[in-house]
Amino acid sequence: MTSEIDTISAIQQAALRELAAASDLDSLDAWRIAYLGRRGRLTGVLRGLAGMPIEERRRVGAGANALKERLEAACDERRAALEEARVTQVIQEERLDVTLPGPPLPHGRLHPITQTLRDVLRAFRDMGFQVAEGPEIEWDYYNFEALRIPADHPARDMWDTLWMDFEHDGRRQMLLRTHTSPNQIRVMEHSQPPIRVVVPGKCYRFEATDPTHEWMMTQVEGLAIDAGISMADLKGTLAEFARRIFGQERRVAFRCDYFPFVEPGMELRIDCFICRGEGCRTCGRSGWIEILGAGMVHPEIIANAGYDAEKYTGFAFGLGIERIALLRHGVDDIRYFYANDLRFLRQF
């Protein structure tokens, strides 16, 4: 009997000592298994009671059960202390110092096409042009007929048109505008000379995409109508625009071209900014890069607007913003602008 009581006392001393040394919940669980588990030291004493005399069983059993209750209570108390210490540690380590500045918020950026469009409009506004807008869903009349492109005119093949499902007298009448030139007619319908406007907007073409073509593009149409406007005014305006956008050192050249709504028509070229006119892959070995089309407004269009074609003359031009952005930033594929790849867009 004395030996079993001594065993219980030794278990108590060892258990309390090791419990105090348990530093985390894992070590506490290991302690509980070692002393109170199915094969624990104290459980072994309780299982040995069956072979003892009745009096000895009572005394040893009472002592063992009392120790079990004490150890279970001590275990619960130690567990609560360890959990509280863990929570306190987390609070201390993750405490938010409200006096520190907050993390920086990411700033959005203007899309490179939007940036280029604003630069282009700013250049023309500084030269006295106003900004106007027009509809993207357009009538056939404004997009083609009023611009001297009737239904049977071969020039319609220059624009791969996206037609709307709307017919009148057996003909489709509405479309997604193929250029911003219809706004020449709309502006002249509601204005009297002098007129100096630029019209930005999206245009749409039914064509395959490749590094230099997209089915949607952003254009800027320019129109000036006044008494005495000449080709020299057009050339001077476009040369100044090119230098404001591409640098004052840019050289410009004009080459004849055809557009049904201007006469004569021409295209504006700048010297290649890579080879400086010597000829390279970018400029097709010509030394020059075409950036826009322009010309003097056809007298029929001026007369159809109700103006005196003997008194008033004018010029018009149209340019693609994507093409300007490609040249300014040295991008070799127009599709990058609309692929929504942040790795590309963050560069601007």
Question: Which of 129, 307, 148 lies closest to 224 in space, CA to CA?
Answer: 129
CA dist 348 and 344 (Å) reads 8
Q: Exactly one of 205, 269, 298, 323 is catalytic; name it.
A: 205
Q: What is the DSSP letter of 157?
A: G
Q: Is 316 known to be catalytic?
A: yes
Q: Is 179 known to be catalytic?
A: yes
* Residue 115 dihedral angles phi and psi, to the nearest 5°: -60, -45
CA dist 187 and 196 (Å) reads 10
CA dist 229 and 307 (Å) reads 14
Q: Is 219 known to be catalytic?
A: yes
Q: Exactly one of 316, 323, 325, 331 is catalytic; name it.
A: 316
The tokens of 60 are what?
């040893």
Scan for tokens 């065993």, then name that residue: 7
Q: Exactly one of 219, 305, 323, 331 is catalytic; name it.
A: 219
Q: What is the DSSP letter of 180?
A: S
Q: Is 269 known to be catalytic?
A: no
Q: Exactly one of 179, 269, 298, 323 is catalytic; name it.
A: 179
Scan for tokens 């320019």, then name that residue: 222
Scan for tokens 């000449």, then name that residue: 230
CA dist 146 and 261 (Å) reads 9
Got the DSSP string for 78-125?
HHHHHHHHHHHHHHHHT---TTSPPPPPPPP---HHHHHHHHHHHHHH
The size of the chain, in residues, is 348
Q: Is 187 known to be catalytic?
A: no
How far are the Cα atoms of 131, 141, 327 from residue 304, in angstroms, in the given order?
A: 23, 13, 37
Q: Is 262 known to be catalytic?
A: yes
CA dist 261 and 295 (Å) reads 8
Scan for tokens 């006044």, then name that residue: 226
Q: Exactly one of 159, 252, 305, 325 is catalytic; name it.
A: 159
Which positions are annotated as active-site residues? 159, 179, 205, 219, 262, 316
